[in-house]
Amino acid sequence: MSEELGGYDRSAIFLGAASLVSAIFAFGADAPTPIDFAHVGAGGAIVLAGFGVVGLLGGLLHRGILSVIAGAGLTIAAVVQLVTLAISPRPLGGDATAMALFGAFGIGLLLVGFARRQASTPAPTDDSAPTTTTPTDDRKA
Amino acid sequence: MTVATQAPPADPLASSLSRALMAIVRIGVALMWIQNVAWKRPPDFGRTNDDGLFFWASQAVEYPVFTPYSAFVESLFLPNIEFFGWIILLVEGGLGAFLLVGLATRFWAVVGLAQTLAIALSVLNAPHEWHWSYYLMFFAHLAIFATAAGRWFGLDGVLRPGWMRSSNPLAKAMVRLS
């Protein structure tokens, strides 16, 4: 089981780092077309970097709840980007490519965070003595 | 009498290098979809200026590849592009997002095959198009599906063991889609 928890943590680290690095696409509009993969506005770059750091810390500190928070923030950003695509200027800047990045890292961190928390919660062994989840369960490495 | 014994052929995907190479293919294809969702611009998706999605979809009418598909584009898709454009945007954004992190990869590979087919039926005969671009897109998605490319360096590989243990119907569906 600890190997599985380690896998969730490594995924959170990777997704958080990838989100953080993706903030560089704030400069995408000035890049040559062959590497102009995504367009992220200033607000979007802050979202990607900020929640990326939270997701990264979730993996490093073995805290699934941080991955869930980062994932939820990025997923909400993806929805905001989607519903504001038809207006200009957009609160997060960028275009639909930013929505795809928010969604990718957001959904990924959400699933990894929830899976980690579920895996670190001990299964009840006796119906008469239900177990409870404590904050330390989430830190099992 | 002697019986010649032969070791079974080695699984190429048992190699870390091969798995990493398939992850590169998956992420590269994801970046292609992400980059190309940029020019699907709501709300009119190019109708006003005859550019963007409206222009490229209209190539199916101007340079038909498959007559029934051209008729569908002319009579239903183009007149309602303000609706269909959002579907294309969500599908291509989803392709980019899910293939990038390797989640439900086999499902999205099938979606990618369908979307590639739709694009090919729109522009295969258009001037200056290289038909092998679309054939290669199709083959890339076939490779991603065949190798279940999200199971290595992707979330499918991390989450599948939990899905396989779970009795939740959604988890069981994810096992099949990954």
> What pLDDT digit, counting tens, does each position of A3-16 carry?
889 999 999 999 99
The answer to whether residue A107 neighbours chain B at the CB level (below 8 Å) is yes
* Chain A residues touching residue B89 (CB < 8 angstroms): 85, 96
Determine the pLDDT at residue B24: 98
CB contacts, 8 Å: B158 with chain A: 7-8, 10-11, 112, 115
SS (H, E, C) B49-82: CCCHHHHHHHHHHHCCCCHHHHHHHHHHHHHHHH
pLDDT for res A88: 85
pLDDT score recorded for residue A121: 81
| Chain A residues in contact with B101 (beta carbon < 8 A) | 15, 104-105, 107-108
- C-alpha dihedral (A116, B108, A52, A28), degrees to nearest 10: 170
Confidence of residue A132 (pLDDT cuts 50, 70, 90): very low
- The rounded percent of chain B whose pLDDT value lies above 90 is 92
Nearest CB among A96, A103, A115 relative to B89 is that of A96
The residue type at A94:
G
Q: How many domains does chain A have?
A: 1
Q: Does A104 touch chain B (CB under 8 A)?
A: yes
Q: Is the CB of B158 less than 8 angstroms away from the CB of A7?
A: yes
Decide if A135 is inside a domain.
no
At position A141, the amino acid (one-letter code) is A
Mean pLDDT of B78-89: 98
Note the pLDDT tens digit of each residue in A67-120: 999 999 999 999 999 999 999 889 999 999 999 999 999 999 999 999 999 998
Query: CB of A96 within 8 Å of any CB in chain B?
Result: yes
* Predicted complex ipTM exceeds 0.90: yes
Looking at residue A3, its pLDDT comes to 84
The answer as to whether A7 is a domain residue is yes
Is residue A27 assigned to a domain? no
Question: Considering the domain boundaries, does residue A141 fall inside one?
Answer: no
Q: Which residue has the higher pLDDT, B83 or A34?
A: B83
pLDDT of amino acid A124: 65
How far, in Å, CA of B25 to CA of B131, rounded?
Answer: 20
In a domain, A50, yes or no: yes
Q: Which residue among A11, A82, A100 sits closest to B155, beta carbon to beta carbon?
A: A11
B97·A38 Cβ contact <8 A: no
Pairwise CA distance, residues B119 & B101, whole Å? 24
**Structure confidence at residue A120 (pLDDT):** 86
For A81, the domain range is 2-22+39-120
State the SS3 of chain B. Answer: CCCCCCCCCCCHHHCHHHHHHHHHHHHHHHHHHHHHCCCCCCCCCCCCCCCHHHHHHHHHHHCCCCHHHHHHHHHHHHHHHHHHHHHHHHHHHHHHHHHHHCCCHHHHHHHHHHHHHHHHHHHCCCCCCCHHHHHHHHHHHHHHHHCCHHHCCCHHHHHHHHHHHCCCHHHHHHHHHC
**Which residue, among B85, B100, B78, B87, has the nearest Cα to B33 in the 3D structure?**
B100
More confident residue, B166 or A132: B166
| The residue to which tokens 């897109």 are assigned | B137
pLDDT 10s digits, A14-35 = 999 999 999 999 987 778 888 8
